[in-house]
């Protein structure tokens, strides 16, 4: 369940599971690498998928590593007000965005509008339909990040605008742009 | 005339996503809905965008390879610490084709039964969810084909109850956040079943995949504090278009104990 703002809710079973995971976070903060390994196992798939969708396959492994190393270093600041998964997810988003904003790749890709040229109308040939994940990966960086944050991860435009330092209107228009491109690639 | 229609379409095309996300002011929303009545182009594009949104909500995470943890462990000064069960091994197991020995796959369904029992016992509104009366087998105990049918029937029964509740609440335009939480739990169970021998049956597999899609949409509703009626309507329409409820009712496995699905 991808829920940046979700908590354990009212279900005691879920709350109990979160308490166990919270115990691992406390132990890891005290230096227990085995507890940290358990946290990694629990969350690696989600973080790696987030990194892959936002930054591409080629950067996903390194970004995932950086997120978990940063989490290890900052665990002492995790106070347990939110679930560990929520805290980690936000840390990951911030790190990925900071990395992408500082990369020359982003500037190069944003300079042109190659995504629109790249987008052929393939609906008449479903056999050629691109894998949806691959199509997300080929979106222009800005549109891709907003699409992943809004439609996949469930953030609101106001949150995205704050994270990316853009206006709400820009977030909305980039989301629309991403969807308009992706609609051509539904298998 | 055609120019006018084109201009209108262009004006609204740019705002289709805002409509889909229920972010148009009420006045503009009404005007757009009036426009939709006559504009085939906008209607078609809106459906395509809706499909993109649904597909995005149903994306599944993939685990990284083992080298990723190895580097993390090294960088945090704990090179000797390994994962009890490598992440990619778990992923490979999920992706692996159904294999020859059903007893090897008992764990997933046992976990499903245990999860279902846990949810059934602990949920705050037990009157709305059927509680299972089947004990989960001990880990490592071989499970018969009947046990898989039991797990499937229980899951279909619970999910049917959930979806019926959702449909009733969706008619009012608002859905209780707890329905979303249950949908998340049912989504987990659905994915466990998709990884079990139960999904060897192509018809059931298709049904489970459609259930996964709809449950993912419902589970996503409470994530947004302003979960709106467009998103509720999106999930409701998916439920109807997939004809999930009638299909679930007709696909209850033969030989299922009569008590299954009863509260």
CATH number (domain holding residue A22) = 1.10.1740.10
When divided into structural domains, chain A yields a total of 2
Answer yes or no: do A132 and A175 share one domain: yes
Q: Which of the given ranges, A90-104, A106-120, B239-253, has the highest pLDDT on average?
A: A90-104
Which of A102, A126, A143 delimits the end of a domain? A102
Residues from chain A that touch B128, judged by Cβ atoms under 8 A, are none
- In this structure, are A98 and A129 located in the same domain? no
In the numeric block, the tokens 């055609």 are attached to B2
CB under 8 Å to A71, separation ≥6 — which residues? Answer: A39, A88, A91
Q: What is the mean pLDDT of chain B?
A: 70
Question: How far, in Å, CA of B238 to CA of B53, rounded?
Answer: 12
Using only C-alpha atoms, chain B has a radius of gyration, in whole angstroms, of 22
Could you tell me the maximum CA-CA distance found in chain A, to the nearest angstrom? Answer: 58
d(CA A36, CA B132): 35
Half-sphere exposure of B24 (CA within 13 A, CB side): 19
Write the pLDDT tens digit of every residue in B192-228: 777 777 777 778 888 888 888 888 888 877 555 454 5
Residue A4 included in any domain? no
End-to-end CA gap in chain B: 61
Burial class from Cβ neighbours inside 10 Å (0-12, 13-18, 19+) for residue B57 reads buried
B160 CA to centre of own chain: 13
Interface test with B, best of A179, A185, A187 (most B CBs within 10 A): A179
Closest residue by Cα to residue B233 from B151, B189, B167? B167
Last residue of a domain, one of A84, A102, A120: A102
- What element of type H or E holds B197? none
Q: What is the pLDDT of residues B146-194, one digit of tens each?
A: 666 777 887 888 888 888 888 888 877 677 777 887 888 888 778 777 7
The answer to whether the pTM exceeds 0.80 is no
A1 domain-assigned:
no
User: Is A124 in the B-facing interface, judged by CB distances under 8 Å?
Assistant: no
- Judge if A98 and A110 occupy the same domain: no
Residues A76, A31: one domain?
yes
For residue A60, the enclosing domain spans 11-102
CATH of the domain at A170: 1.10.10.10
On whether residue A138 sits in a domain, the answer given is: yes
Q: Indicate whether A143 belongs to any domain.
A: yes
Last residue of a domain, one of A71, A86, A102: A102
Q: Where are the domains of chain B?
A: 2-57, 62-96, 100-250
Query: Are A147 and A180 members of one domain?
Result: yes
- B108 or B43: which carries more pLDDT confidence? B43
* Nearest to B204, CA basis, from B168, B141, B159: B159
Interface of A with B in 157-186 (CB under 8 A): 157, 172-173, 175-176, 179-180, 182-183, 186
């Amino acid at each position: 369940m991808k829920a940046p703002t979700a908590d354990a809710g009212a279900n005691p079973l879920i709350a109990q599971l979160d308490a166990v995971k919270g115990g691992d976070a406390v132990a890891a903060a005290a230096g227990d690498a085995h507890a940290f390994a358990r946290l990694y196992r629990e969350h690696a798939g989600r973080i790696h998928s987030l990194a892959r969708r936002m930054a591409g396959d080629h950067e996903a492994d390194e970004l995932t590593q950086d997120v978990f190393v940063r989490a290890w270093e900052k665990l002492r600041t995790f106070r347990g007000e939110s679930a560990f998964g929520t805290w980690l997810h936000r840390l990951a988003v911030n790190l990925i965005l900071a990395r992408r904003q500082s990369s020359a790749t982003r500037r190069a890709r944003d300079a042109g509008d190659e995504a629109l040229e790249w987008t052929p109308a393939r609906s008449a040939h479903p056999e050629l339909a691109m894998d949806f994940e691959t199509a997300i990966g080929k979106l222009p960086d800005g549109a891709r990040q907003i699409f992943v944050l809004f439609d996949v991860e469930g953030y609101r435009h106001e949150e995205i605008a704050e994270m990316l330092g853009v206006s709400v209107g820009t977030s909305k228009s980039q989301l629309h742009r991403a969807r308009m491109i992706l609609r051509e690639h539904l298998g | 005339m055609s120019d006018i229609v084109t201009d209108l379409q262009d004006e609204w095309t740019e705002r289709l996503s805002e409509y889909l996300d229920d972010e148009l002011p009420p006045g503009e929303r009404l005007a757009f809905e009036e426009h939709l009545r006559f504009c085939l182009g906008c209607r078609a594009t809106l459906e395509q965008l809706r499909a993109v949104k649904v597909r995005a909500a149903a994306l599944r995470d993939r685990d990284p390879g083992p080298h990723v943890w190895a580097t993390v462990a090294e960088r945090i000064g704990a090179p000797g610490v390994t994962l009890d069960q490598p992440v990619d091994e778990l992923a490979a197991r999920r992706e692996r084709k159904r294999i020859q020995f059903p007893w090897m796959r008992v764990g997933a369904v046992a976990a499903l039964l245990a999860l279902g029992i846990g949810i059934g016992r602990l949920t705050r509104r037990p009157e709305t969810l059927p509680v299972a009366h089947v004990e989960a087998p001990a880990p490592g105990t071989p499970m018969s084909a009947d046990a898989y049918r039991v797990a499937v029937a229980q899951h279909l029964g619970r999910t049917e109850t959930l979806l019926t509740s959702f449909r009733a609440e969706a008619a009012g335009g608002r859905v209780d956040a707890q329905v979303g939480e249950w949908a998340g739990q049912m989504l987990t169970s659905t994915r466990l079943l998709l990884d079990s021998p139960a999904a060897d049956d192509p018809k059931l597999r298709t049904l489970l995949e459609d259930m996964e899609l709809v449950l993912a949409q419902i589970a996503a509703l409470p994530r947004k504090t302003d979960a709106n009626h467009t998103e509720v309507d999106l999930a409701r329409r998916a439920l109807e278009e997939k004809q999930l409820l009638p299909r679930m009712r007709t696909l209850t496995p033969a030989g299922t104990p009569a008590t299954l699905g009863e509260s």
